[in-house]
């Protein structure tokens, strides 16, 4: 259900992207996705379904299918998020919800529209290598209540900027002593390696989490996705989008 071959996509040659998803069980409830929505707009999303295993994976599959269908019809995040929320509520499964971050980047204007439904703040790597939390409005996760309106935000996303998105399977990974990985360790790791391209950055994060966890059993699904906007006309890097 999620992309695994990060090959050049027509229209998005200026985007380098990579992602990894490691479920805690044979199947899991984390998700990520990206696609060109039209000739100008690049869409991406990451999410984390409450729970693990088959029920979470089915919930995840339904979410991805609906998101793709809605996004190709209308790229307004207000429209997409509100309809997804209403649909999840109608399933009647009150025990499951989804933290979700979705964005639409206009490759002509470099304007990034985004909406965060209860998901951890991404990390933003500026063109000069400075790292900061990409802080957003704190909306409720999807599937919690029908009486809620999601609104998109917007900012300028400068060429050379890189966004790192992840699920709480990173920050809440536990080692054999029941210690958590924590967001501070992730922030310091990214700061120390801010020059890395998306593929190498994702591999660095996942590798560091695995070293921290050691021989402890993986306690939650783990997903990391990163993309960088290159200047128009820059030669594509092999193996990256």
**Domains of the chain by residue range:** 15-229
- 5 within 8 A of 67, measured Cβ to Cβ: no
Q: Which residues of 211-241 are buried (b: 16+ CB within 10 A; e: fewer)?
A: ebbeeeebbbbbbbbbbbbbeeeeeeeeebb
Q: Using CA atoms in the order 176, 182, 187, 193, what is the torsion angle rounded to 10 degrees?
A: 10
Question: Is the CA virtual torsion 128, 162, 194, 198 positive or negative?
Answer: negative
pLDDT at 240: 36
Q: Is the pLDDT of residue 27 over 50?
A: yes
- What was the pLDDT predicted at 241? 35
pLDDT per residue as tens digits for the range 190-233: 999 999 999 999 999 999 999 999 999 888 889 999 999 998 64
Of 11-25, 116-130, 145-159, the range with the lowest mean pLDDT is: 11-25
Confidence (pLDDT) at 112: 98
pLDDT score at 58: 83
**Cα(109)–Cα(158) distance, rounded to whole angstroms?**
10
CATH classification for the domain delimited by 15-229, as one of 3.40.50.300, 2.40.30.170, 3.90.1150.10, 3.60.40.10? 3.60.40.10
Q: For residue 8, name the pLDDT band (cuts at 50, 70, 90).
A: low
Phi-psi region of 240 (alpha: psi -120 to 50; beta: other; left: phi over 0): beta
Which pLDDT score is estimated for 238?
Answer: 38
Question: What pLDDT is stored for residue 63 in this prediction?
Answer: 86
In degrees rounded to 5, what are phi and psi of residue 194? Answer: -65, -15
∠ at Cα 112 (205, 4), nearest 5°? 45
Phi, psi for 77 (deg, rounded to 5): -70, -30
Residue 48: which of 59, 34, 35 has the closest Cα? 59
pLDDT number for residue 7: 63
Averaged pLDDT, 113-130: 97
């Amino acid at each position: 259900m999620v992309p695994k071959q990060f090959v050049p996509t027509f229209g998005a040659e200026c985007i380098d992207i990579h992602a990894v998803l490691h479920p805690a069980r044979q199947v899991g409830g984390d998700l990520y996705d990206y696609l060109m929505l039209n000739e100008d707009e690049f869409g991406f999303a990451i999410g984390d379904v409450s729970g693990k295993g088959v029920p979470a994976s089915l919930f995840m599959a339904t979410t991805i299918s609906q998101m793709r269908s809605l996004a190709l019809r209308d790229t307004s995040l207000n429209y997409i998020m509100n309809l997804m929320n209403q649909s999840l509520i109608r399933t009647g499964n009150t025990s499951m919800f989804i933290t979700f971050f979705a964005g639409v980047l206009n490759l002509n204007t470099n304007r990034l529209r985004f909406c965060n439904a209860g998901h951890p703040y991404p990390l933003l790597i500026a063109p000069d290598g400075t790292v900061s939390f990409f802080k957003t409005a704190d909306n409720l996760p999807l599937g919690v209540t029908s009486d809620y309106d999601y609104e998109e935000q917007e900012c300028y996303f400068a060429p050379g900027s890189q966004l790192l998105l992840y699920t709480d399977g990173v920050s809440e990974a536990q080692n054999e002593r029941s210690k958590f990985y924590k967001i501070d360790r992730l922030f310091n790791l990214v700061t120390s390696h801010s020059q890395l391209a998306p593929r190498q950055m994702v591999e660095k994060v996942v590798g560091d989490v695995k070293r921290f966890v050691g021989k402890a059993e993986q306690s939650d699904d783990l997903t990391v996705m990163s993309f960088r906007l290159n200047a128009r006309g820059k030669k594509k890097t092999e193996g990256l989008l």
